[in-house]
Each structure stands twice: as C-alpha cells, then as structure tokens.
Amino acid sequence: MIHNEKAFLRLPKPKAVVFDWDNTLVDTWPLIHRAIDTTMNRMGRKGWGLEKVRDTVHKSMRESFPEIFGDDWQKAGEIYKSAYRAIHLDVQFLSGALELINRLEELGILQFVVSNKIGATLRKEAAKLGVERKFFAVIGAADSAYDKPSKEPVELALLGSNLDPKQDEIWFIGDTIADVECAKASGLRPIIYGHSGNQISKTIPEKMLEDEAIPVYFDHCELIKLLGL
C-alpha cells in the first residue's frame, strides 16, 4: 500500500538512499521489546509491552535512557545491551527489504544505513545478513558526536561519497520522527516506511504528514514497482 501515491510519482529518481535499520529494513520490534522489558524488570519497573515500545522508541540509548532512568541510566543501559546482544543475531529482513537493496545496487544507486542502534551491534547484524558490503557506510549510535535526529551521523556516512545534499537527490527512508527530523536537518528527502498493518509510527504527528506531504509507503516491493526501479 502507498499512502500518498501522487507524492511518490512527483519525486525525482534518487542518486542515493539512506536507510534507517530497525523496523525499516529489519524486523526488530520483538527483540527490542524483549530487551526493554528485561531492563525494566531488572530495574524494578513494570515492562512496557510491545505496543508501547513501538509507539515510544526512536531515540538512541544515550539520549533516551537518561530521560527514563535518570542517574541510573548507565546501569540500565548495560542491562539492555546485554539482553539485546544475547538475541540480536536472530534478526530477519522485513518483507521486500532485501529485494529493494539488491535492486538499488543493480541500478548503481549508493546506499547507506544511519541508525540509532549502537554502531558495533548494527554492523554485526548487517554482516550476519550478508549485506554490509552493499552499503557505502553503516553508521550507528555513538559513531558520531550526536545521534539522530542530529545531522551529524548523516554527514559522517556521506564522507568520501562525493554526494552533496544541496545538489543531489538523496532519500532518507525511515519509520520514526527521528528519521524525518534527521533527513530534514541533513537536507535529504524524508520518506516514511510504515509499520505492518499499514500503521505509521505514532512518533510522527499526523499534521506533519498532511502539511508537508511526506511520501509514505508500507511495502518495499510496491515501492520498487511504483517507481519502476
């Protein structure tokens, strides 16, 4: 399903595409949910449940955990990292994601990943799935001074690519407000990938979708067909 097909049809073909990772290319909500609830329980708090995790998580750990746990955020962070690392290599591609990656590669369109997942963990997942070499750069949390929605991780990713956001059509495909804001801060074109069940992340205000006519889609294979990629 395409949320606003006309917005897509007006788009110039991209010279490059920057992807978010979690729940844009790979299905990690169940894994994040398990790690978050383990952390909450170990910290003496009630687990969030999958729905709250989906509706809330979008910042990096070093930005979100101080808001949640206060002075104990680093302790909670170690619990989360341990819990997530124990299961993270169970990660799988979302439907059509690998096909989209392969098609963009065939067309010579440069691809990047910019994620709020810790960089070392992110790159292990990309390597496990056999796609690390399909991306010009794979940048995660703490690889740059600031994480999404700052533009710094995008600037780091683009280093050496000869791409100029002021001149080149570069898409940023992601699923949360952090991705939209990062794209806008970086001078890239934001495109939203919706969750399963044709649901757009609740972190993204409906008014933003209406006022800014940001393209939204829910199926990677449909995007390939729509744009003739």
Taken in order of first residue, the domains within the chain and their CATH numbers are 5-27+92-227 (3.40.50.1000), 29-90 (1.10.150)
Q: Looking at residues 43-61, what average pLDDT do you find?
A: 85
Structure tokens at 71: 């002075």
Q: Is the pLDDT of residue 178 over 80?
A: yes
Distance CA(60)–CA(142), nearest Å, equals: 9
Distance CA(167)–CA(169), nearest Å, equals: 7
pLDDT number for residue 196:
63
Structure tokens at 195: 């969750």
Q: How confident is the model at residue 28 (pLDDT cuts 50, 70, 90)?
A: confident
Say what the alpha-carbon torsion angle 115, 118, 123, 126 is, to the nearest 10 degrees.
Answer: -50
Mean pLDDT of the chain: 90
Q: How confident is the model at residue 87 (pLDDT cuts 50, 70, 90)?
A: confident
Distance CA(125)–CA(90), nearest Å, equals: 9
Other beta carbons within 10 Å of 95: 12
Distance CA(88)–CA(85), nearest Å, equals: 5
Other beta carbons within 10 Å of 140: 24
Distance CA(190)–CA(214), nearest Å, equals: 7
Structure tokens at 51: 């729905």
Q: Looking at residues 55-68, what average pLDDT do you find?
A: 85
pLDDT number for residue 5:
66
pLDDT, greater one: 181 or 4: 181
pTM of the complete model: 0.87
Percent helix, strand, coil in the chain (nearest 5)? 50, 15, 35
Percent of the chain whose pLDDT exceeds 90 = 63
Structure tokens at 110: 């440069």
